[in-house]
A and B are shown apart, each in its own frame.
Chain A
Amino acid sequence: MSGLRGVIEFLTASGGMHGWAMATAAVVSAAAAVVGSLLVVRRMSLIGDAISHAVLPGIVVGVLLGGRPGGPLATLGAVAAALLTVWLAELLRGKARLSEDAAAGVVFTTLFAAGVALLSAAASRVDVDPGCVLYGMLELVPFDTVELAWLEVPRAFLGGLLVLAGVLAVLWLSWRQQLATAFDADAAAVVGLPAKAMTTGLLCATAVVTVASFEAVGAVIVVAMLVVPAATAELLVATLPRLILVAVGLAVASACSGYAVAWQAETNAAGMIAVMLGVGYAAAVLIAPDGMLARGTASLRLAWRVVCEDVLAEAWRAEEVGAALPASPRGGLAGMLAAWWLTRRGRLLPGGRLSEQGRGQAEMVVRSHRLWETWLGRHVRLPLDHLHPPAEWIEHYLGAEMRQRLEAEMAHTPAGSVAADPHGSTIPPER
């Protein structure tokens, strides 16, 4: 329990500073993850990236007009900047015939540069640190609070909570439409859904989320919070509701762990949160149901089965012609390993002869091989010396049913039933 007590102490120390900062990061990340899920499944990640950069001048103008970095004026400015981005990108695509990525590249770098320049020019009048633009000031969030009934709540937390609630409410109300549009925006437009308005709404939501996370993580790292949780969840689950749930879970977990690690390592919390999100994604790439580990073990297992079956079949063929077993099995080291393992499992007897059990398995491999050679010889009319290599591959993949069908089909051809393959070797019967 001392671990739990340690966690509680960490969260409540110095007026709950860490607790509030962590809660702010978690709330903001969760909102970003919800919006990002829609961006990712609609293949709009890069537009989300562009918007999160491009809202900067809007935020700065909002602040210059007397707002706060996360306040309503800044939000308004950011939404205006987001709409401007979309309009400009459309204009460049339509009038200047730029490709989509080039248009986005021109617009968001220009707007971001304008934002930074504006910020530097008005540095004396605005209390926004240019560093804050790039990586946020999560550590300072707990010190800017508002009185809420009996509790001192950080402004950024409250703002994040409101945005999260708003995003969830809109998602709840428009769920069926969102689902249809996310699945196929063109089809949704055809059946009369306001797909274009929904796309614009999604981009505005991206802008709002960026403003809400501005103080916590800045306008650049928010890209990671938008895209990575959803992209990770996409590897793990298959339906949109689950994708959103998993993404939110990942976002909250990364926010909390990233903040804690950053505090331990004395570094920037927003950067560490992004790193944690990246770690989560890398883990998902490895352990997802069709991830690299699963695929790697599947192909290793297949390779192992092929080696084992080759060793058994070789022993069977040696037995068939009464020849002595070769000194070492085929397949080099893997073959020797397979022979050892097969002996342990009772398929081979000590000395390399087949056990009854091993003989059964070997016979089915040889039967598959010879049936296939016969079929190829009769139907594809390959020359005799071309029959062996394909059969050597396919012998590991033919099941009992396939063998029976091959045999049955060939029994009806003029050449008659199959007792021997084209090389004259007997085809063992099915067991």
Chain B
Amino acid sequence: MTMLTAVADLLGLSSNTLLVAVAMAAVGMAAGVVGCFSVLRRRALIGDAAAHATLPGVALAFVITGSRGLPVLLIGAVVSAVASMGLLVLLRRFTRTRDDAATAIVIGVSFGMGVALISGLVARGVPGSGGLERFLLGSTASLSAADARLLVIVSLLSTGLVAAFVKEATVVSFDPGFAAAAGWPVWWIDFALVAMTAVMVVAGLPAAGAVLVTALVVIPPVAARQWTDRVGVMLVLAGAFGLVSAVAGVAASAVVPGLATGPMVVLAAAALFAVSLVCAPSRGLLAMALRPRMPLAPPERGGP
């Protein structure tokens, strides 16, 4: 911790501010890494349902425990995010509602429920309830050093888990049929990936808020995908992009007063994506425009 204080002094920041920035960097990185597999698995918007569903969980955790400590609220958020994922599975299994509509229902209704709960608490003047609104669009202002440490630990654990099971997650993402035929526990790997996405969505709440946090698990992986066709490289790049956008966004909202963190984080990520879209070596728009048009290859002779 002394080193941190020294660095903070060097930068002219309070050590708390620096710790929060480090936490946001870790969260951005882990969200980017975990998000890679939900993008590769074509489930980018599942995270959005989980994100909106965190809101009632946060409010209910506050109502039940009366605590406004971040760990308690985030546990509530994880529970309701995972419950919403379970609800999606149940709706798919037991109703005729199609996936897209089911996702939209979970997004709209759970967000409405969260808003109604939080507004009700605020209208009754419950002390501390006003702070819940920061989960809508994100704000790192009230994070304590302990909160920051918790976020760092969660992020490093998630990143470590992904690193340990890259092979499994890759096989399931690219060819679930093959994975199942080869006897892999596809259901469990899928469940673990979705659950980790939910956890990272929750960890990203202070940075980006419920409405926008899905961008943390979607945009950096998508930007990274532009640069490479290899999963390992994509994971590293997505982590880096997530880290940079989280730090840039938090810094921008610290400079401009009254600006929520979430939009700035998302805009920073979007800027990185735009650069990737244009400049990436083989898939980039620039490279495609400059590449000489290949003449059609003459038909091969003596084929099968």
Contact = CB atoms under 8 A, between A and B. Distances in A.
Q: Do A and B bind each other?
A: yes
Interface of A: 40, 43-46, 48-49, 53, 92, 95-99, 101-102, 104-106, 109-110, 112-114, 116-117, 120-121, 123, 130-131, 134-135, 220-228, 230-231, 234-235, 262, 265-268, 270-275, 277-278, 281, 285, 290-292
B45 A104 contact: yes
A268 B259 contact: no
Nearest to A227: B104
A121 B260 CA distance: 11
A40 B102 CA distance: 10
25 contacts: A46-B104, A49-B103, A49-B108, A96-B277, A96-B283, A105-B222, A112-B211, A120-B258, A120-B259, A120-B263, A134-B137, A135-B112, A223-B104, A224-B109, A227-B101, A230-B101, A234-B101, A235-B96, A262-B116, A267-B117, A271-B119, A274-B108, A278-B109, A281-B105, A290-B96
Q: Which 6 A-B pairs have the closest CB atoms?
A: A274-B112, A224-B108, A271-B116, A278-B109, A271-B115, A267-B120
Interface of B: 39, 42-45, 47-48, 91, 94-98, 100-105, 107-109, 111-120, 123-124, 133, 136-137, 211-212, 214-215, 218-219, 222, 225-226, 256, 258-260, 262-267, 270, 273, 277, 283, 285, 288
Nearest to B96: A235
B219 A109 contact: yes
Contacts of B113: 271, 274-275, 278
A235 B45 CA distance: 24
Given A223-B107, A231-B105, A43 B264 contact: no
A130 B133 CA distance: 11
A258 to B, nearest CB: 9
A95 B136 CA distance: 33
Given A95-B288, A105-B44, A267-B116, A234 B97 contact: yes
Contact of B107 (A49, A114, A273): A49
A106 B263 contact: no
Contacts of B96: 234-235, 290
A353 B55 CA distance: 62
Contacts of A106: 215, 218-219, 222, 270, 273
B100 A277 contact: no
Given A106-B218, A274-B108, A275-B116, A116 B98 contact: no
Contacts of A117: 259, 263-264, 267
Contact of A110 (B118, B267, B285, B288): B267
A48 B219 CA distance: 20
B266 A113 contact: yes
Contact of A44 (B39, B100, B267): B100
A105 B215 contact: yes
A112 B215 CA distance: 11
Contacts of B215: 105-106, 109-110, 113
A92 B225 CA distance: 12
Contact of A116 (B44, B45, B118, B137): B137
Select the residue from B44, B264, B288 with max chain A CB neighbours within 10 A.
Answer: B44
Contacts of B91: 285
A328 B186 CA distance: 45
Nearest to A291: B95
B115 A270 contact: yes
Given A267-B120, A271-B115, A121 B104 contact: no
Nearest to A267: B120
A226 B101 CA distance: 10
Scoring A53, A92, A101, A275 by chain B CB atoms within 10 A of each residue's CB, the highest score goes to A101
Contacts of B94: 285, 292
Nearest to B219: A106
User: Which residue, of B98, B101, B102, B105, has the highest number of chain A Cβ atoms within 10 A?
Assistant: B101
Contacts of B219: 105-106, 109-110
Contacts of A113: 212, 215, 262-267, 270
A298 to B, nearest CB: 14
B151 to A, nearest CB: 21
A266 B260 CA distance: 26
A291 B97 CA distance: 11
B131 to A, nearest CB: 15
Contacts of A49: 48, 103-104, 107-108
A49 B105 CA distance: 10
Given A114-B267, A267-B116, A273-B112, A105 B45 contact: yes
A130 B137 contact: yes
Nearest to A47: B100
Given A266-B120, A285-B95, A226 B112 contact: no
B100 A102 contact: no
B45 A123 contact: no
Contact of A278 (B43, B105, B137, B214): B105
B44 A102 contact: yes
B211 A134 contact: yes
Nearest to B137: A116
Contacts of A96: 222, 226, 277, 283
Contacts of B277: 92, 95-96
A282 to B, nearest CB: 9
B284 to A, nearest CB: 9
B208 to A, nearest CB: 9
Contacts of A101: 42-45
B262 to A, nearest CB: 7
Contacts of B256: 120-121
A268 B115 contact: yes
A131 B211 CA distance: 12
B119 A135 contact: yes
B97 A231 contact: yes
B37 to A, nearest CB: 12
B101 A45 contact: yes
Interface centre among A104, A227, A228, by most chain B C-beta atoms within 10 angstroms, is A227
Nearest to A135: B115
Given A96-B226, A117-B267, A281 B214 contact: no
Nearest to B223: A106
Contacts of A281: 105, 109
Contacts of A226: 104, 108
Contacts of A225: 108
B95 A235 contact: yes
A45 B112 CA distance: 17
Given A234-B97, A271-B114, A227 B108 contact: yes
